[in-house]
């Protein structure tokens, strides 16, 4: 009997928590301007909510009005999210005398209505990473393989490719991932839409998009898999000689090749805004450290109207009015809690990022360190999807300019000396070296390696070649100007 009662309580708790967690995740993903629009919409629809800047009837710190706290949390002050929400629910039940627990069918009906309303709400497009993670649910696989696949998804580059060594996966999973499991995780990602996602390089990206129904499939597969370098340099007669394929068929295959997607993430890319409003601001203190604060000083400060609370406690208030007020109070407190959770999570994630990337602020963007979302998730103590939502479409104002939070993430490679170096550092240095080269006598990849080493960036020639190709920079022969 006790076990059945416990299970019923857990079921009811899940039903009550589901819409709240949905709202919390939705609020977390909103940038500051979209959040302010959402708050204004809620203020117009919920008479229980009041903006402390405009209304004298609701005050922060008032016993009757649990407004959003204004004190910023410390790095270790955040309680477990689930426990925090349970505690909040119990406290509010006592304060507002919500009455006896409702039946499971009633809770389920309310949960369904709430989730339906949220699903029908106008929302921002799903991100590329969220869409891929959502697709994983359609595959039946070992949990560790799914976890590895999700890890890989959140470490794809801005094209949707995974140009990293799978040894990084094995290392970051601390022995839980074998080379075979890592390979299975990558193959699972490569089965997702759009075709080509998760490829390790451009060649593999194109091969993943081929299917037997495609016109000229066999010729295309041969050209891409065996003669990709000749294709890049447009050496069609050389390909004809090596393969025996007539040059006209090669040209027809090239027309098909041009229709393939070089950037699997392109469908999810949006035009950058002409101006941005930062969600966070970094300021340098007198001691040379960096302080992070939220740029929400102009956002509405929400609280619950004391007038409605008094009306709720008035015994002469009819039941229909009481039910209406209780429903609006629940909606208001969910919103207030979601906004506060967003503030806490944003600050903790931003502080963890800046602690790792302090060199960027001290010395400049070229000193960025390799950083994965999973590292920040582990440090902050949240799921990697929470970090992804927290940084999505968020900007941060720093002493060196305004950057998207995602700018501080990126993979890297290992130098010959065993040091990790960020891809962005390699790309930036490569662009600098090529921009300054003699246009009449461009440097070969080997010469670029030597020049980068003289400037403190020591990488292998194959690394330079890979990044030059990823940046669509032609070979030295093609760059030569006459």
Is the pLDDT assigned to residue 373 strictly greater than 90? Answer: no
Reported as a single tens digit per residue, the pLDDT across 96-105 is 333 443 443 4
In this predicted structure, the answer to whether residue 388 has a pLDDT above a threshold of 90 is no
Q: In this predicted structure, what is the pLDDT of residue 235?
A: 83
Please report the pLDDT score of residue 259 as a whole number. Answer: 81
For the chain, the average pLDDT equals 76
- Domain range summary for the chain, segments of one domain joined by +: 2-125+300-341, 128-268, 280-293+347-408, 412-479
DSSP letter assigned to residue 410: B
Whole-structure pTM over 0.85, yes or no? no
Q: How much of the chain is helix, strand and coil, in % rounded to 5?
A: 55, 5, 35
Highest mean pLDDT among 207-211, 347-351, 412-416, 451-455 belongs to 347-351
pLDDT in the model for residue 348: 93
Can you give the pLDDT at residue 425? 75
- What Cα–Cα distance (Å) separates residue 363 from each residue in 76, 352, 367, 368, 409? 28, 18, 7, 9, 17
Q: Is the pLDDT of residue 87 over 50?
A: no
CB count within 10 Å of CB 361 equals 16
Q: What is the rounded distance in angstroms from the CA atom of residue 277 to the CA atom of residue 36?
A: 12
Q: What pLDDT was estimated at residue 221?
A: 87
Residue 252 has pLDDT above 80, yes or no: yes
Residue 442 has pLDDT above 70, yes or no: yes
Mean pLDDT of 355-370: 81
The pLDDT value recorded for residue 101 is 39
For residue 176 the two structure tokens come to 């839980």
Quick check: bond before 194 cis, omega within 30? yes
The pLDDT value given to residue 248: 85
Model confidence at 351, pLDDT cuts 50, 70, 90, reads: very high
Q: Which residue has the tokens 């170096």?
A: 421
Question: Of 345 and 157, which is predicted with more confidence?
Answer: 345
Q: How many helices (H) and strands (E) does the chain have?
A: 22, 8
- Residue 119's region, left for phi above 0, alpha for psi from -120 to 50, else beta, is alpha
Distance, CA of 398 to CA of 221 (rounded, Å): 48
Instruction: Look at domain 412-479 and name its CATH class.
Output: mainly alpha
* pLDDT over 60 (residue 353): yes
Split at pLDDT 50, 70, 90, the class of 346 is: very high
pLDDT band at 468 (very low <50, low <70, confident <90, very high): confident
Q: What local confidence, expressed as pLDDT, does residue 262 receive?
A: 83
More confident residue, 297 or 346: 346
pLDDT of residue 62: 43
Q: What pLDDT is recorded for position 104?
A: 39
Q: How far is CA 114 from the centre of its chain?
A: 26
Q: How confident is the model at residue 403 (pLDDT cuts 50, 70, 90)?
A: confident
Which percentage of the chain shows pLDDT scores above 90?
7
- Residue 307 contacts residue 57 (beta carbons within 8 Å): yes
Interatomic CA distance for residues 218 and 265, integer angstroms: 26
Residue 358: its H or E element: helix 358-363
Which residues, in sequence order, are bridge partners of residue 414? 420
pLDDT of residue 65: 42
- Please determine, for residue 115, whether its predicted confidence score (pLDDT) is greater than 70: no
- Give the confidence band of 360 by pLDDT, cuts at 50, 70, 90: confident
| pLDDT (tens digit per residue) in 124-175 | 556 778 788 888 888 888 888 988 998 888 888 878 888 888 887 888 787 7
């Amino acid at each position: 009997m006790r076990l059945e009662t416990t299970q019923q309580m857990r079921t009811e708790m899940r039903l009550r928590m589901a819409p709240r967690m949905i709202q919390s995740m939705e609020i977390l993903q909103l940038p500051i301007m979209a959040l302010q629009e959402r708050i204004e919409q809620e203020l117009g629809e919920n008479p229980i909510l009041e903006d402390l800047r405009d209304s004298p009837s609701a005050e922060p710190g008032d016993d009757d009005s649990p407004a959003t706290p204004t004190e910023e949390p410390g790095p270790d002050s955040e309680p477990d999210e689930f426990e925090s929400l349970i505690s909040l629910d119990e406290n509010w039940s006592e304060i507002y005398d919500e009455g006896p627990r409702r039946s499971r069918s009633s809770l389920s009906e309310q949960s369904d209505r709430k989730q339906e309303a949220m699903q029908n709400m106008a929302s921002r497009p799903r991100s590329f990473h969220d869409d891929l993670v959502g697709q994983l649910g359609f595959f039946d696989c070992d949990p560790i393989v799914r976890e590895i696949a999700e890890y890989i998804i959140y470490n794809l580059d801005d094209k949707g490719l995974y140009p990293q060594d799978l040894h990084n996966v094995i290392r970051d999973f601390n022995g839980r991932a074998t080379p075979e499991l890592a390979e299975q995780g990558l193959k699972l990602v490569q089965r997702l839409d759009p075709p080509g996602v998760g490829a390790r390089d451009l060649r593999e990206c194109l091969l993943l998009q081929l299917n037997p129904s495609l016109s000229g499939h066999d010729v295309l597969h041969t050209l891409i898999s065996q003669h990709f370098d000749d294709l890049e340099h447009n050496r069609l007669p050389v390909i004809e000689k090596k393969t025996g394929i007539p040059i006209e068929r090669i040209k027809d295959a090239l027309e098909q090749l041009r229709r393939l997607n070089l950037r699997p993430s392109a469908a999810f890319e949006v035009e950058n805004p002409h101006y941005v409003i930062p969600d966070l601001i970094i300021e340098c203190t007198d001691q040379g450290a960096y302080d992070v604060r939220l740029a929400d000083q102009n956002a509405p400060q929400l609280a619950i109207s004391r007038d409605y609370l008094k009306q709720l406690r008035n015994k002469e208030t009819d039941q229909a009015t009481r039910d209406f007020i209780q429903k609006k109070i629940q909606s208001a407190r969910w919103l207030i809690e979601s906004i506060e959770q967003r503030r806490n999570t944003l600050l903790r994630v931003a502080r963890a990022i800046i602690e790792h990337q302090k060199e960027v602020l001290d010395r400049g963007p070229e000193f960025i360190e390799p950083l994965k979302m999973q590292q920040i998730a582990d440090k902050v103590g949240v799921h990697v999807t929470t970090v992804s939502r927290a940084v999505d479409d968020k900007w941060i104002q720093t002493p060196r300019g305004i950057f998207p939070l995602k700018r501080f993430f990126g993979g890297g490679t290992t130098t010959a000396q065993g040091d990790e170096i960020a891809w962005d550092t390699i790309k930036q240095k490569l662009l600098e070296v090529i921009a300054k080269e003699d246009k009449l006598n461009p440097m070969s990849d080997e010469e670029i390696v030597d020049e980068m080493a003289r400037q403190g960036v020591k990488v292998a020639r194959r690394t330079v070649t890979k990044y030059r190709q990823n940046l669509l920079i032609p070979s030295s022969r093609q760059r030569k100007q006459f």
